[in-house]
Amino acid sequence: MSVQALIELDEMTEAIMGQLADADYERFVELVDLRERALAALGSGVPLEESDRAIVRKLMRYDEVLMRRMEQLRGEASESLYKIHFSKMQKRVYDSDFVESSLFFDKRK
């Protein structure tokens, strides 16, 4: 089981690295979930062969690049949320509450 999870993780990581600029956050969520399952399977105590260790080392080399892209996506999401919040705040200011039946009188000087 642990070797199969490691192979799946390697394949998915390679696929994401091949299209890193276009990878959306859903792909990264899938990758993180698969990574957690692979780590849980590897923690079962089965000793790793050298070929499996080579896969783990290869995956570790991708960590920095993947983290950078995830941080970029987080920044974009944060910026979008800020824009949404700001536009709602502006709309609230311009959409003042008023009572339609109220009257205003101007006084002449």
pLDDT in tens, 19-55: 999 998 999 999 999 999 888 888 877 788 898 889 9
Phi, psi (rounded to 5 degrees) for 2: -65, -35
Q: Is residue 13 part of a domain?
A: yes
Q: How far is CA 103 from CA 31, 41, 94, in A?
A: 62, 73, 20
Residue 40 in domain: yes
- For residue 1, is pLDDT > 60? no
Instruction: Flag whether pLDDT at 77 surpasses 50.
Output: yes
In a domain, 104, yes or no: no
- Domain contains 107: no
Q: 3: pLDDT confidence band, cut at 50, 70 and 90?
A: confident
Other CB atoms within a 10 A radius of the CB of residue 66 amount to 19
In a domain, 101, yes or no: no
d(CA 62, CA 35): 13
pTM assigned to the model: 0.70
- The Cα 73–Cα 71 span in angstroms is 5
Determine the Cα angle at 79 with ends 83 and 93, to 5°.
20
Q: Residue 99 in 3-state DSSP?
A: coil
Overall number of domains in the chain? 1
The reply to whether 106 falls in a domain is no
Phi, psi of 104 (to 5 degrees): -120, 140
